[in-house]
């Protein structure tokens, strides 16, 4: 197993680009990760990385070895999953990711309960509003809000979520309440945007009598953290486009007010995506079933004020 552990460390260093990130991911120190790479290089008799001050880049030997090593580790994982399915005792580690707000409110709180049911399964959660590269970072399940465009991934829809445009009463008193979507485009109003490289949030798709229409909106500032956007809206700084369950408490207590109710944003789908090869892994299916049911129940409760 020591050799296989060394191979696993090598693969994660290639995928993440440095020893520290790979060490954190595998819960070992950078020094231990470095020693395992050295042991592997000694065993193979070649140098696997070109080392710079910031990053480790695989050599030609390293690139060739990575392709074969990745297949071996995937085969081992599939074999372990098959044994777990036969034994009826799922075990191992699941790496999951979710957007910050969704992860904090729906996913994170369910992990202890899941672990209580299946104590031999470890769960590692990464929260980020950026689109995490599932394949590169070894993610087993990603919970996402929005369209899934990567054909190399499987998708399981959880539920469609209503979206709303909202602003604080203080903002609407100062700037006036918009009566048509066109007012959002005219720069008469400030739209607060969730934006990071590759995002499409600066275009809001609204339901209109003529069908869905896209509106390119603008604002004085944006953020890559959805909770920051909500905080700005609560402080009276602009209009936001959010899943209703995410901000229902603020709508209920009057701190945020729905605007343009006749031309709301298109609903967004909450979905779980995962690599094709993970479909038969029993621990992945268990977590998918558990979180899908839990998210549905919690969102319904949030919208009902429970």
Percent of all residues in the chain with a pLDDT value above 90, rounded to a whole number: 39
Distance, in Å, from the CA atom of 36 to the CA atom of 26, rounded to the nearest integer, reads 12
The top-scoring range by mean pLDDT among 196-210, 260-274, 278-292 is 260-274
- Kindly report, residue by residue over 4-35, the tens digit of the pLDDT: 888 888 888 888 878 888 888 777 888 888 88
Q: Taking residues 136-157, report their average pLDDT.
A: 78
Written as six digits, the tokens of 241 are: 């486009």
Strand spans (E) along 138-238: 141-145, 153-161, 163-167, 193-194, 203-208, 211-216, 222-223
Backbone φ and ψ of 99, nearest 5°:
-60, 155
Query: Above 60 in pLDDT, residue 125?
Result: yes
- For 280, which DSSP code? T
- Kindly report, residue by residue over 37-65, the tens digit of the pLDDT: 888 888 888 898 887 766 788 888 888 88
Residue 196: predicted pLDDT: 62
Are 52 and 17 in contact, with CB atoms under 8 Å apart? no
Query: Above 60 in pLDDT, residue 151?
Result: no
Residue 163: predicted pLDDT: 95
Q: Which residue has the tokens 């209503």?
A: 162
Distance, in Å, from the CA atom of 302 to the CA atom of 306, rounded to the nearest integer, reads 6
Domains annotated for the chain, with CATH where assigned, are: 1-88 (1.10.10.10), 89-159+270-306 (3.40.190.10), 163-266 (3.40.190.290)
Q: Taking residues 172-197, report their average pLDDT.
A: 88
Query: Above 70 in pLDDT, residue 135?
Result: yes
Burial of 229 (0-12, 13-18, 19+ CB in 10 A): buried
Q: Which residue has the higher pLDDT, 163 or 82?
A: 163
pTM attached to this predicted model: 0.72
Residue 279: predicted pLDDT: 58
pLDDT band at 265 (very low <50, low <70, confident <90, very high): very high
Residue 28: predicted pLDDT: 85
What is the chain's mean pLDDT, rounded?
86
Q: Please, what is the angle between helix 19-26 and helix 2-16, to 10°?
A: 130
- For 130, which DSSP code? S
Q: Taking residues 105-118, report their average pLDDT.
A: 93
Residue 96: predicted pLDDT: 92
Nearest Cα to Cα of residue 65 among 83, 90, 40, 93: 40
pLDDT band at 240 (very low <50, low <70, confident <90, very high): very high
The top-scoring range by mean pLDDT among 63-77, 78-92, 261-275 is 261-275
Burial of 240 (0-12, 13-18, 19+ CB in 10 A): buried
Residue 230: predicted pLDDT: 95
Backbone φ and ψ of 164, nearest 5°:
-140, 155
Distance, in Å, from the CA atom of 193 to the CA atom of 205, rounded to the nearest integer, reads 14
Distance, in Å, from the CA atom of 62 to the CA atom of 243, rounded to the nearest integer, reads 45
Q: Which residue has the higher pLDDT, 228 or 150?
A: 228
Q: Which residue has the tokens 């209109």?
A: 208
Residue 82: predicted pLDDT: 67
- Kindly report, residue by residue over 164-182, the tens digit of the pLDDT: 999 999 999 999 999 999 9
Q: Taking residues 83-110, report their average pLDDT.
A: 82
């Amino acid at each position: 197993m020591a050799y296989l552990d060394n191979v696993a460390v090598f693969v994660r260093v290639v995928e993440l680009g440095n020893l520290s990130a790979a060490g954190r991911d595998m819960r070992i120190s950078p020094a231990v990760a470095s020693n395992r790479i050295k042991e592997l290089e000694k065993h193979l008799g070649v140098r696997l990385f070109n080392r710079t001050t910031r990053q480790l880049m695989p050599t030609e030997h390293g690139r060739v070895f990575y392709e074969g090593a990745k297949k071996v580790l995937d085969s081992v994982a599939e074999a372990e999953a098959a044994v777990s399915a036969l034994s009826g005792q799922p075990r191992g580690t699941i790496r999951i990711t979710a957007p910050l707000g969704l992860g904090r409110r729906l996913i994170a709180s369910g992990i202890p309960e899941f672990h209580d049911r299946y104590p031999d399964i470890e769960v590692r959660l990464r929260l980020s509003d950026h689109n995490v590269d599932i394949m590169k970072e070894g993610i087993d399940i990603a919970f996402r809000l929005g369209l899934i465009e990567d054909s190399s991934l499987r998708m399981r829809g959880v539920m469609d979520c209503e979206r709303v445009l909202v602003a604080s009463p203080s903002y609407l008193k100062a700037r006036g309440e918009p009566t048509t979507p066109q007012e959002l485009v005219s720069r008469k109003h400030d739209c607060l945007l969730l934006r990071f490289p590759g995002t499409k949030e600066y275009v809001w798709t609204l339901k209109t009598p003529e069908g869905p229409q896209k509106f390119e909106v603008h604002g004085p500032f944006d953020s890559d953290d959805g909770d920051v956007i909500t905080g700005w809206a609560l402080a009276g700084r602009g209009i936001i486009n959010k899943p209703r369950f995410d901000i229902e408490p603020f709508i209920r207590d009057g701190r945020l007010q729905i605007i343009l109710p006749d031309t709301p944003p298109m609903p967004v789908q909450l979905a779980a995506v995962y690599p094709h090869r993970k479909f038969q892994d029993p621990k992945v299916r268990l977590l998918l079933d558990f979180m899908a049911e839990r998210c549905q129940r919690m969102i319904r409760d949030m919208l009902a004020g429970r």
